[in-house]
Amino acid sequence: MMNMTEVDCIVRFHDVRRIPELNRCIFSLFGQTHRPLTIVLALQRFSAAEINRVRAALAPLLKLHDAPRLNLINLSSDGPKDARTELLNLGLSKCQGRYVAFLDYDDVLYPEAYSLLVSRLQATNCAIAFASVRVVHADVTPEFMVATRADPAVFKGEGLVDLFGGNFCPIHSYLIDRSVASSELYFDTLLNWEEDYDLLLRITAKHTADFELLGTLIGDYYIKTDVSNSIGVSGVEGKLSTERLLEYEQVAALIEARRRTTRVSEVVQRQLGFQSFDQKLTIRNALTRLDIDEVIP
């Protein structure tokens, strides 16, 4: 049975050495004003000892009054080496609430984030509601991470057309209504980068989306000096190796294939301002009709 007010937040975690960052991330979820809330913490091939370290680190938070429920799961399969997409799908398989969100272990949300997003979904009956997050630049050392500056205006976009052109919505800047978008709720395991953007294209091509909270900051997205989590942010690509750039070009080709093959539903065509319904209209066709040729890489 789906709990019709519950938010499930999927957090993926792959490196036990980064527990301090995980602790900060989970603390931001414990501070959410919305309840009920379940944290689905998806670990990547942790040993029994590592799982115990995670549990011990989070134990003090679990003792707080009105703490969210923690569902800790561990991906145990041998492959693939980079299992970030598999972790998201594993997390989705454990969700029981009406609403689902995502938060990477090195990012944080502000206390009102889910209350605001749930309110928009309840008011609009949309499949997904978006808000904004700011970028925090941070220096990384083996022991800790130090924030150096914040920028609230990196992810620029104003709505659906901009989203079709390129992803300006980090994975923790939106909330999805599972009761509306259940058939689209999976991540393509061919993608280890932009897997969240691929999901957004599929959802927003079929269902209406709410962008009313764009400009309202609900969290922080950390860009690290080691470029471990910053693919797709302007200026970062120049720091990547030739091999990594080639991989990202392959991902960009898959995303463009998604644009060219995903059809836009009648309700979304109306949202885009088209007067007559074209059952063969794809995302790429829609952008062409809107005279938008350039897309964000």
Q: Is 17 part of a structural domain of the chain? A: yes
CATH of the domain at 79: 3.90.550.10
> What per-residue confidence (pLDDT) applies to 238?
53
Q: Is 30 part of a structural domain of the chain? A: yes
Distance between CA 285 and CA 260 in Å, rounded? 7
Q: Is 297 part of a structural domain of the chain? A: no
Q: φ and ψ at 83, to 5 degrees?
A: -110, 25
> What per-residue confidence (pLDDT) applies to 229?
53
Token pair in block for residue 13: 């975690």
Task: Answer with the residue of higher pLDDT: 133 or 1.
Answer: 133
Q: Is 296 part of a structural domain of the chain? A: no
Q: Is 263 part of a structural domain of the chain? A: yes
Q: Is 45 part of a structural domain of the chain? A: yes
Does the pLDDT value for residue 234 go beyond 90? no
Q: Which residue in this structure is represented by tokens 């980079």? A: 82
Q: Is 150 part of a structural domain of the chain? A: yes
**Mean predicted confidence (pLDDT) in 275-285:** 97
The pLDDT-based confidence of 189 (bands split at 50, 70, 90) is very high
**Mean predicted confidence (pLDDT) in 291-296:** 70
Share the mean pLDDT of the chain.
92
Read off the pTM: 0.93
Over its C-alpha atoms, the chain yields an Rg (Å, rounded) of 19
> What per-residue confidence (pLDDT) applies to 228?
59
Q: What is the distance, to the nearest Å, from the Cα of residue 69 to the centroid of all Cα atoms in its chain?
A: 20
Structural domain harbouring 113: 3-289
Q: Is 261 part of a structural domain of the chain? A: yes
Does the pLDDT value for residue 236 go beyond 50? no
**Mean predicted confidence (pLDDT) in 86-96:** 97
- The count of domains in the chain is 1
Per-residue pLDDT reduced to its tens digit, 93-141: 999 999 999 999 999 999 999 999 999 999 999 999 999 999 999 988 7
Q: φ and ψ at 121, to 5 degrees?
A: -65, -40
Q: Is there a contact between 261 and 204 (Cβ–Cβ < 8 Å)?
A: no
Q: φ and ψ at 103, to 5 degrees?
A: -150, 120
Task: Answer with the residue of higher pLDDT: 216 or 150.
Answer: 216
> What per-residue confidence (pLDDT) applies to 83?
95
Stated as kind and residue range, the H or E segment containing 178 is helix 178-181
